[in-house]
Amino acid sequence: MVKICCIGAGYVGGPTMAVIALKCPAIEVAVVDISVSRINAWNSDTLPIYEPGLDEVVKQCRGKNLFFSTDVEKHVFEADIVFVSVNTPTKTQGLGAGKAADLTYWESAARMIADVSKSDKIVVEKSTVPVKTAEAIEKILTHNSKKINFQILSNPEFLAEGTAIKDLFNPDRVLIGGRETPDGQKAIQALKDVYAHWVPVDRIICTNLWSAELSKLAANAFLAQRISSVNAMSALCEATGADVTQVSHAVGKDTRIGPKFLNASVGFGGSCFQKDILNLVYICECNGLPDVANYWKQVIKVNDYQKTRFVNRVVASMFNTVSGKKIAILGFAFKKDTGDTRETPAIDVCKGLLGDKAKLSIYDPQVTGDQIQRDLAMKKFDWDHPVHLQPLSPTSVKEVSVVWDAYEATKDAHGICIMTEWDEFKTLDYQKIYDNMQKPAFVFDGRNIVDVEKLREIGFIVYSIGKPLDPWLKDMPAVA
């Protein structure tokens, strides 16, 4: 029986291993983590992450061939294949601060593997890491082991949160990079055999290590670039009277471009896009390629611009001040169907509004008040460090209240900002909401999900990203 161990029971490690266990009943899968609370949650009825379909998969395999444990060393010792899926934060100090990946957790995982191993192992890089990390890991493993053969593979995960199970069941491709030596090829084949249980072999791509590592950064950079491109167009649409939805539809019909990932929004978020582009930028700079670095940097700049622009719109529309006004924030997660708030645009928008002295009432169906308070108190790039390194009891932001209902959040509010495209926000009783708000009542839709005409009929003043402006907003000061 092949034994797999995955170090890191997070958004990537948890769902990926659950699906491997489901699809490969003959493989024993152990997911380990140093966080006791996380492992306890994986072993309980309330999993630590919200992901449609995940509960069913875990229920089917847990206790059979899927185990969650804090006994990291035991499971690494027993495993034939060790996946490493630990966090790789952006460095907050020292060389490369604000750009380079902090590989502390990776390095300590590698040293532990070298320490406890008594048999040959395949070590798989699962978390996204800067190019050539495998080489560093290989050095740590081979210089610390006692005649054990370690093969390093890069097998980046392409799942998106909110659709993780769907993406894992039916991936566009699985990418496996390894050494171009006979032993390296053997290791690639062993991992390919695991995925071949359910992924058609023509969708399993095998490359060298560096191509696999770089492809992951490149794919995320290309995806983020599409969003920044359409968001840049949204600003021009507002200035000219074009409608960004019509523009992206027309552009996306070109099969060379395609229709996906062209939704204008308040900005992209999530744990990957910004971090991976920063990694790419740093690698370009280190390789003496400042022009290439600047090209990719611009994708992040446009994303920051989009968030600032949104805040400016809100403030300008409401007579240039939101001081003391209650603003309802609907949605805090970085996208729908996840409770994840890492790099969510809602953080920057909320901070921007608080900077103008607004009072916020926030509602998200999957995010707790504690999490929101912690996010708003945290410094940039601190989110990927373990909780014990984050402010322990964050002084909660006084002007922020977190409620468990959209109607409660919007009661007596002057304006509503929609930050996440949760389906339930499409079907709210907006007449009831309008009746309970201060007038004039504003809706600022950062995800273009509301029916603008219907809301205007009710009496709302509506702003949607990249759409012809409400006559009210046209008379307000221009927003740069």
Question: Contact with ligand ADP (CB under 6 A): which of 2, 3, 34, 69?
Answer: 34
Cβ closest to ligand UDX, residue 117 vs residue 303: 303
- Tell me which stretch binds ligand ADP (CB under 6 A): 3-11, 145-153, 190-198, 232-240: 3-11
Angle subtended by helix axes 369-377 and 345-355, to nearest 10: 70
Look at residue 349 and give the partner it binds from ligand ADP, ligand UDX, none, a contact being a CB closer than 5 to 8 Å depending on partner kind: none
Strand-pairing partners, residue 3, are 28
Does 133 belong to an annotated binding site?
Answer: no
Contact 27, 106 (CB under 8 A): no
Does 16 belong to an annotated binding site?
Answer: no
Cα–Cα distance, 435 to 412 (Å, whole number): 9
| Cis ω for the linkage preceding 345 (within 30 of 0) | no
Cα–Cα distance, 321 to 410 (Å, whole number): 19
Phi, psi of 81, rounded to the nearest 5 degrees? -120, 125
Sign of the alpha-carbon torsion through 38, 31, 125, 172: negative
Does 273 belong to an annotated binding site?
Answer: yes
Cβ closest to ligand ADP, residue 11 vs residue 282: 11
Q: Which residues, including other chains, have CB under 8 Å from residue 181's CB and lie 6 or more apart?
A: none
Cβ closest to ligand UDX, residue 65 vs residue 234: 234
* Residue numbers 202-231 binding ligand UDX by CB under 6 A: 220, 223, 227
Contact 106, 86 (CB under 8 A): yes
Does 272 belong to an annotated binding site?
Answer: yes
Applying CB under 6 A, the site for ligand ADP has a residue count of 21
Question: Contact with ligand UDX (CB under 6 A): which of 21, 272, 372, 462?
Answer: 272
Q: Which residue has the tokens 């729908």?
A: 336
Q: Does 335 bind ligand UDX (CB under 6 A)?
A: yes
The structure tokens listed for 297 are 């940097």
Question: Contact with ligand ADP (CB under 6 A): which of 127, 265, 420, 448?
Answer: 127
Q: Quickly list DSSP for 5-67.
A: EEE--STTHHHHHHHHHHH-TTSEEEEE-S-HHHHHHHTSSS-SS--TTHHHHHHHHBTTTEE
Cα–Cα distance, 451 to 307 (Å, whole number): 22
In the sheet that holds 461-464, the strands lie side by side as 400-402, 359-363, 326-330, 415-418, 442-445, 461-464
Cβ closest to ligand UDX, residue 168 vs residue 209: 168
* Residue numbers 42-101 binding ligand ADP by CB under 6 A: 72, 85-87
Cβ closest to ligand UDX, residue 175 vs residue 433: 175
Q: Does 9 bind ligand ADP (CB under 6 A)?
A: yes
How many of the other CB atoms lie within 10 Å of CB of 84? 24
Q: How far is the CB of 49 from ligand ADP (least distance, A)?
A: 8
* Residue numbers 242-281 binding ligand ADP by CB under 6 A: 271
Q: How far is the CB of 82 from ligand ADP (least distance, A)?
A: 11
Q: DSSP strand E in 296-385: where? A: 326-330, 359-363
- Tell me which stretch binds ligand UDX (CB under 6 A): 31-39, 87-95, 236-244, 267-275: 267-275
Q: Quickly list DSSP for 149-205.
A: -EEEEE------TTSHHHHHHS-S-EEEEE-SSHHHHHHHHHHHHHHTTTS-GGGEE
| 272 annotated active-site | yes
In the three-class reduction of DSSP (H, G, I as helix; E, B as strand; rest coil), residue 416 is classed as: strand
Q: How far is the CB of 10 from ligand ADP (least distance, A)?
A: 2
Look at residue 158 and give the partner it binds from ligand UDX, ligand ADP, none, a contact being a CB closer than 5 to 8 Å depending on partner kind: ligand UDX
- Tell me which stretch binds ligand UDX (CB under 6 A): 54-62, 159-167, 364-372, 469-477: 159-167
Q: Which of 142, 216, 132, 213 is nearest to 183 (CA)?
A: 142
Q: Which of 6, 24, 272, 417 is catalytic?
A: 272
Question: Contact with ligand UDX (CB under 6 A): which of 169, 261, 305, 407?
Answer: 261
Cβ closest to ligand UDX, residue 156 vs residue 178: 156
Sign of the alpha-carbon torsion through 355, 359, 364, 368: positive
Cβ closest to ligand UDX, residue 248 vs residue 410: 248
Cα–Cα distance, 51 to 363 (Å, whole number): 19
Look at residue 225 and give the partner it binds from ligand UDX, ligand ADP, none, a contact being a CB closer than 5 to 8 Å depending on partner kind: none
Question: Contact with ligand UDX (CB under 6 A): which of 130, 184, 270, 365?
Answer: 270
The structure tokens listed for 139 are 């050095």
Question: Contact with ligand UDX (CB under 6 A): which of 159, 212, 417, 455?
Answer: 159
In the three-class reduction of DSSP (H, G, I as helix; E, B as strand; rest coil), residue 365 is classed as: coil
Strand-pairing partners, residue 81, are 4, 122
Binding region: 8-13, 33, 38, 86-90, 127-128, 161, 272-275, 342
User: Interface residues with ligand UDX (CB under 6 A)?
Assistant: 157-161, 220, 223, 227, 261-263, 265, 268-270, 272-273, 334-335
Residues with catalytic roles: 272
Residue numbers in the known binding site for NAD(+) are: 8-13, 33, 38, 86-90, 127-128, 161, 272-275, 342
The residues that touch ligand ADP, with contacts defined as CB under 6 A, are: 7-13, 32-35, 38, 72, 85-87, 105, 108-109, 127, 271
